[in-house]
Structure 1
């Protein structure tokens, strides 16, 4: 006869289920609030279109998602704010990737059950002076162990130092509410992660990125509340930049530079992004590739003119700065 779980194990499982359910409720509400705020910010009258999908028609426990997209707006040329709540079994590839990041509880051979819940967004602007915004908050569970991740980062096409300082200053302030160690740590993680080795440049000017953070007394701060503060701050971190830049004139040459730089964005996603690779391993392709920019240009060996704003951007992307 199989042994029954101990009382402590049952209590832990109930706490885990309550935590996961609370987080699912939170990200559903967060998605709704962000969509409403983004529609108001865009101002075109267009609305997000919603596509609710089920991971497996044969297995209701495998999870679901809500892909929400607005295209052709006044500010939001393409915006996606997505929910994913899924469960399954770790493949060897996924398991090796996780265990290589120091997760001793993950068997690199795969086969362990997992569940995950995330809200992620990418906002691609119609204006070259408004940077792309990318952000997410997520929870991942493997056999009773829970980790959080997330972040928010900025990818400009033209460098407005004031915009970037404001963005980083906002996130430093949010982090400092919990610990003055969080911003420098997660800013450095963001710079390391969003790097394109083949180009020897960073995808953008960074922000925050954190992964595999466990809640509990050993963290030294309330991890769950911090993650929610990050989620709540996503749109407010970007909104002032949109309001400052949206009425600025731009040229066709600036628009073409924006399209060229979007090519770098997609290169990173397809070649290096862990979330994209994780999703493509048995995930729903439309929900994953919805983050791609709507229009992209590639031209051979483009070199910005010496002393130009385009060159200044490339120089900054080659070496991260301290902005806050």
Structure 2
């Protein structure tokens, strides 16, 4: 399987996802921005705004290549001079606080010396944690993982817990999901088998999230719940700008800043010492933003 074939499959995945989201939202269409990277390659940025459900969302495709930045060569201990990277990444910020934020990305990386790997993940960030919803989300992820390898979910779920974690807040970003990186033939699977897994993760997104959108979008919410949403969006910004490796990679490789930072929410608040009332829904959510929760089993909190 060649890199250009992988890139074309990812472009098709972007088409599938944006069409499904438009149909589910029913009120807005994606606007496309085709761009070129001066150092090599380019991409398609698709952004949706002010829909019936989605306040702002982006589904990005890119296929870039060129000289490996010295910073990344040193950090990853790589010797190759040139790289190729392609993938699809997305993030959705709904208007209703009862509809969770979601993130997904699938990617492929290849070096001029023939080294390659796949990476990606999908995670759910509810403003208010619904344990049944979290369980259903993780059940779908486990089905996909188990189909391709019996150890994938047990390995990639805690990897997501560790990755999507804000150590300076001692909070997970949400209820997690799966995260994986550096998947290559050392896993005992062929390149084609790994790509099939990665694509199925990508194809899982639209039906899973559209069901969540349909279930929650009509729920009424209060001013307090909207205020909490804006406050929690601040945590999302903190993670993406301070900790996210994908954001750093894009900026370090002179990526298109507008496309990289489309992940930012349209409106956000930081409140000094936000008051959390004991026994409130906000307090319960904070108790559930922890690592190592088994969402597939009953949770007492």
TM-score, normalised to structure 1, is 0.87
For 1:264 and 1:146, how far apart are their aligned partners in 2?
33
Q: Deviations over 1:94-145 (max 9, x none)?
A: 123323xxxxxx13xxx62100001000011111011011001100001211
Alignment of 1:1-324 (within 5 A): 18-44=1-27, 46-56=28-38, 62-99=40-77, 106-107=78-79, 112-143=81-112, 144-215=114-185, 218-219=188-189, 222-281=193-252, 282-324=254-296
Indicate the structure (1 or 2) with the bigger Cα radius of gyration: 1
- In structure 2, list runs of 5 or more residues that go unmatched: 297-301
The answer (yes or no) to whether the contact 1:205–1:320 under 8 Å persists in 2 is: no
1:217, distance to aligned residue in structure 2 (A): 7.1
Counterparts in 2 of 1:316 and 1:96: CA distance versus 1, 3 Å: farther
Asked if 2 retains the 8 angstrom alpha-carbon contact of 1:69 and 1:79, the reply is: yes
Deviations 1:149-188 (A, max 9, x none): 0111000100111111110000001111112210111111
- Between the two proteins, the alignment pairs up a number of residues equal to 293
Once residues 24 and 30 of structure 1 are traced to their aligned partners in structure 2, the CA distance between those partners, rounded to angstroms, is 10
Contact between 1:65 and 1:83, CA under 8 Å: does it hold in 2?
yes
The structural deviation recorded for 1:256 is: 0.6
Q: CA deviation at 1:314?
A: 0.9
Of the structure 1 ranges 300-309 and 253-262, higher mean CA displacement relative to structure 2 is found in 300-309
Secondary structure, counterpart of 2:136 in structure 1: helix
Structure 1 position 215, deviation (Å): 3.6
Show the counterpart of 2:299: none
Q: Distance in 2 between matches of 1:194 and 1:75?
A: 25
In structure 2, distance between residues paired with 1:98 and 1:263: 30
Is the CA contact (8 Å cut-off) linking 1:216 and 1:223 kept in structure 2? Answer: no
The higher-RCO structure (CA 8 Å, 6+ apart) is 2
Contact 2:129 2:175 in 1 (8 A): no
Partners of 1:216 and 1:222 within 8 A in 2: no
Paired residue secondary structure (2:188): helix
Long gaps (5+) in structure 1: 1-17, 100-105
Q: Work out the CA distance in 1 between the residues paired with 2:69 and 2:56.
A: 32
Structure 1 position 216, deviation (Å): 6.7
SS for the counterpart of 1:66 is strand
